C-alpha cells in the first residue's frame, strides 16, 4: 500500500531514481492513456490555479514500479 512518503514530485523522483530521466517519465505520462500508466494510479496531477494549463505532477513510486513491472511482463 502506498504511503505519502512515496508520493514524490517529478524532480525528486528522478533524483532518488537516477536510472530514469525527467524526459523519459514525461514521455510515459504524455502517453499514459495508451500505455496503462493512467489506469495504474501512479500519476497525480494537481492544478495550482483553476485556469492553469499545467499543474504539479506527483508520482506514487509504489504504483509506478508496479506498473513498470507489469510492462516488463507484457514485453516478455
- Give the pLDDT confidence of 24-76 residue by residue, as tens digits: 999 999 999 999 999 999 999 888 777 777 788 999 999 999 999 998 776 65
List alpha helices for 1-76, DSSP H: 10-16, 22-30, 32-35, 37-40, 61-75
Position 76 scores a pLDDT of: 58
Return the C-alpha cell found at 66: 508496479
Domain count within the chain: 1
pLDDT for residue 3: 58
How far apart are alpha carbons 50 and 64 in whole angstroms? 27
pLDDT of 50 reads: 78
Q: Give the residue numbers spanning the domain of 43.
A: 4-75
* pLDDT of 11: 94
Asked if 37 and 28 touch (Cβ cutoff 8 Å), the reply is yes
pLDDT of residue 1: 52
Answer yes or no: pTM beyond 0.85. no
**Burial of residue 68, with CB atoms counted within 10 A of its CB: 0-12 exposed, 13-18 middle, 19 or more buried:** middle
Amino acid at each position: 500500500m502506498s504511503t505519502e512518503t512515496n508520493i514524490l514530485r517529478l524532480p525528486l523522483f528522478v533524483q532518488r531514481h537516477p536510472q530514469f530521466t525527467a524526459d523519459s517519465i514525461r514521455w510515459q505520462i504524455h502517453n499514459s492513456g495508451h500505455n496503462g500508466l493512467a489506469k495504474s494510479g501512479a500519476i497525480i496531477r494537481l492544478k495550482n490555479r483553476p485556469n492553469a494549463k499545467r499543474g504539479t505532477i506527483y508520482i506514487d513510486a509504489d504504483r509506478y514500479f508496479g506498473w513498470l513491472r507489469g510492462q516488463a511482463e507484457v514485453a516478455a
